[in-house]
Amino acid sequence: MIYISAVGTISALGKTAADTAANLICGKAPGMRLREGWLSGNLSAVLGGVDDNLPAIPASFADHHSRNNQLLLAALGQIQPQVDEAVNKYGRERVGIVLGTSTSGLDEADRHVSLSHHQQPSLAWRYPQQELGDPSRFLRRWLGLEGPAWTHSTACSSSARALISGRRLIEAGLADAVIVGGADTLSRMPINGFNSLESLSRTLCQPFARDRNGITIGEGAALMVLTREPQPVALLGVGESSDAWHISAPHPQGEGAVRAIKQALSDAKLEPRDIGYINLHGTATPLNDQVEAGVVSAIFGQQVPCSSTKPLTGHTLGAAGIIEAAISTLILQHGLPLPPQDFRASPIDPALPECGILRQPQPLRLPVVMSNSFAFGGNNASIILGRVA
């Protein structure tokens, strides 16, 4: 069995894991607010941001200087003792890194292009900053590790895939510990891209609500250390699929999502009734919520409590899977109340298939949590975490 020995996370919901847990109980996210300067046409929109100062990246790492990597350092600082312990115990060549991202240094590249377009100097930009593989390459170099390292970029399932790959590295005997996670940063390109798809809400997103009209984008990072050493929370099962139905829209019957969920249940040797809570993908786009509610209803009925935490973090794109896995781990570790869906601004959509969407906080009845990530291109991932001690 593979265990989670450490969790570090930073997002609009909190600047540390402890901060995130405290704010989750209150249902308040300090970094979710109206922001300007991101949408074309001088439009404002609610976005999930990290407003605290981030760790500096020294000049010797100039090729890796990006906000994405600064977010990773902020998450790393929370788990540094466990990382050091793993390196000392197993050796640098036996500790791997697998991360996920959608943006990497895209925002830095965007600023470089803008400056160049206006004939202004752009002295800080380096091409490696924007490469999708840079987050894991940076972290490997920063920590002086020699084990396997790569980055997934499968849109919104990227860091969930990283967690799955980390487990496989250990099970295959290629590593004894793996740092898994992901990071994504607010950037004009995805924000305006989702807006052009008419999938961006300029107000706070409303998953599964009647008047939902799109996502709220956020930024953040999370890191976990996976090992075989027994810990209170374990990675019980994983599932993944790629239905390739459409470049952006989900399969109408959620066939790929169903396969990922059932594969995770089978891998964990669990039945639907064994799940205590589902952290839904819940983007608040009309199609995603319709399809996901149908999938959950078909597999779990109305018996399993579920909700989306994206109104508290924003949709952090490639980092969403690991941030939501971190939230799920904190719920299991600390017995946090399950986060309800907020329907004060708009009632739940009566046209949705009925499933166990939470209206009020409640305790976790069974110590097993599923977290779903469904991405563009029909790239789906489902993970199951459980408290085992």
179-212 residues labelled b (16+ CB within 10 A) or e (exposed): bbbbbbbbbbebbbebbeeebbbeebbbbbbeeb
Please indicate whether residue 281 is annotated as part of the active site.
Answer: yes
Which of 64, 65, 152, 156 is labelled catalytic?
156
- Give the pair of three-digit tokens for residue 159: 């860091």
- Nearest residue to 110 (alpha-carbon basis) of 222, 209, 225, 188: 188
**DSSP-assigned states of every residue in 237-284:** EEEEEE----SSSPPTT-HHHHHHHHHHHHHHT--GGG--EEE-----
Please indicate whether residue 315 is annotated as part of the active site.
Answer: yes
Classify residue 225 by burial, with Cβ atoms within 10 Å: 0-12, 13-18, 19+: buried
Give the whole-angstrom CA distance, residue 187 versus residue 367.
37
Consecutive H or E run containing 289? helix 286-300
Contact 97, 144 (CB under 8 A): no
Ramachandran region, residue 214 (left: φ > 0; alpha: ψ -120 to 50; beta: rest): left
- Nearest residue to 183 (alpha-carbon basis) of 109, 105, 247, 285: 105
Please indicate whether residue 112 is annotated as part of the active site.
Answer: no
Which of 251, 281, 306, 355 is labelled catalytic?
281
- Give the pair of three-digit tokens for residue 142: 């920063």
Residues labelled as active-site residues: 156, 281, 315
